[in-house]
Amino acid sequence: MKKRDIQIALPVTGEEEWNAVKEPLLSGWITQGPKVAEFEKKFADRHSVKHAFAVTSCTTGLHMCLAALDIGPGDEVMVPAFTWVATSNVVLYCGAKPVFVDVCRKTYNIDPESIKKNLSSKTKAIIPVHLFGLCADMDQIKKVIPSDIKIIEDAACAAGASYNNEPAGSLGDMGVFSFHPRKSITTGEGGMVTTNDDGLAQKLSQLRNHGATISEEQRHIGPKPYMLPDFNLLGFNYRMTDLQGAVGLAQLPKLDKFIEERSKWARYYKDALKDIDWLILPEEPKNGTHGWQSFVTFVDPSKSPLPRNEIMELLQKNGVSTRPGTHAVHMLNYYIDTYGFSADDFPNARDLDKQSMAIPLHNRMTQPDYDYVIDNLRNL
Ligand SMILES: *Cc1c(COP(=O)(O)O)cnc(C)c1O
């Protein structure tokens, strides 16, 4: 077998994105402006929501959502124990307490049964994560939480994904997407906050821009040059640039094609790898679309020929990049030091941290690339 070099992820960017940034560069309007506005409108339409606000990242978007709900010291926000560290860091940015909830072994997503046990009178919000593009079980989550607890979807990996045929980003009070290059569409760095709630929308639009009551664009094109905004909220500068907005506009029309291709190759993997008894393959939604941000397997330690890390090293030697799915956040040093967690507090998150393995799946891979990954796994 001739050696190949297959990366874990690689964005599809090229001439179209290159051309897209020319217009803002030539016009001189490079901060948030008409390109961002158009990107927001089209992103909102694609995800069936009334409002979308482009921001600098999913992390800042999540922070902004908590700020829009006035979450602060004394409040608790539930987050899954197995996720990217940003999901819980944003709770700490507000001075509130992240309350970790274990995840399901099969879906990697927050476990509704464990949510029930962790509810308290201080719980103000919950951030279910649609990990790796599979939507969390939103119906069950809504069933177990009181109706005054706000739901913020961490849809970082879930652009274009759906649950019961409703798009991610429209399933809670607010949703937040990421356009980091490891997600399915990218603007370099960037994020998008979605909501159907007009009151929250007003707050989000202000919080993104220092709390200003009118946007720079309104001020620029409006008829009243003497007008300065009022600032009645403590806001941030989380604005996306129009350069990124232009790239987003070039990427968004490709989203559905990207997901379709990823789904096709995910099925190809599932078919070709199903009889490897030590490798547990990811679940698919019963009634919706998986975004397939990544294809994350579980290396069963009781059956695998080698420990996971040795498998990953061997694959890397052969040119196949893999990664652990993501972190058990309670096992990260900052969280251990702050809260004194032990690994066993959230056993499923602990095991997934140690045994999960993402294998390459992205829109620049070809059939021989997939076959090469499959052969390497089968030959272990
Ligand atoms: C990537 C990711 C984030 C952070 O997104 P950024 O845009 O890099 O801030 C947050 N949550 C999850 C689940 C992610 O995968």
Residue 304: what pLDDT?
97
154 sits in which H/E element? strand 150-154
Residue 365: what pLDDT?
98
Place of tokens 């399915």: 184
Q: Tell me how far apart the alpha carbons of residues 293 and 78 are, in angstroms, rounded to a whole number.
A: 23
Residue 228: what pLDDT?
79
Q: How far is the CA of 243 from the centre of ligand 1 (A)?
A: 21
pLDDT tens string, the chain, 380 residues long: the values are 799 999 999 999 999 999 999 999 999 999 999 999 999 999 999 999 999 999 999 999 999 999 999 999 999 999 999 999 999 999 999 999 999 999 999 999 999 999 999 999 999 999 999 999 999 999 999 999 999 999 999 999 999 999 999 999 999 999 999 999 999 999 999 999 999 999 999 999 999 999 998 776 777 777 777 777 888 999 999 999 999 999 999 999 999 999 999 999 999 999 999 999 999 999 999 899 999 999 999 999 999 999 999 999 999 999 999 999 999 999 999 999 999 999 999 999 999 999 999 999 999 999 999 999 999 999 99
Classify residue 26 as exposed, middle or buried by CB count within 10 Å of its CB (0-12, 13-18, 19+).
exposed
> Are the C-beta atoms of residues 34 and 218 closer than 8 Å to each other?
no
**Pocket of ligand 1, candidates 157, 176, 185: which has the most ligand atoms within 8 Å of its Cβ, to mutate?**
157
Q: How far is the CA of 146 from the centre of ligand 1 (A)?
A: 27
Which residues fall within 8 angstroms of residue 105, CB to CB, at 6 or more apart?
298, 348, 351, 352
Phi/psi-derived region of residue 132, left when phi > 0, alpha when psi is between -120 and 50, beta in every other case? left
Q: Tell me how far apart the alpha carbons of residues 329 and 342 are, in angstroms, rounded to a whole number.
A: 11
Q: Tell me how far apart the alpha carbons of residues 21 and 42 are, in angstroms, rounded to a whole number.
A: 18
DSSP H helices in 145-241? 198-207, 216-221
> Are the C-beta atoms of residues 378 and 276 closer than 8 Å to each other?
yes
Q: Tell me how far apart the alpha carbons of residues 236 and 67 are, in angstroms, rounded to a whole number.
A: 10
Classify residue 93 as exposed, middle or buried by CB count within 10 Å of its CB (0-12, 13-18, 19+).
middle
Tell the residue nearest (CA) to atom 2 of ligand 1. Answer: 156
Residue list, ligand 1 pocket, CB within 6 Å: 57-59, 83-84, 86-87, 129, 154, 156-157, 178, 180, 191
3-state secondary structure (DSSP) of residue 100: strand
Ligand 1, atom nearest to 59 Cα? 9
Write down the pTM of the prediction. 0.97
183 is catalytic: yes
DSSP H helices in 274-346? 308-317, 333-339
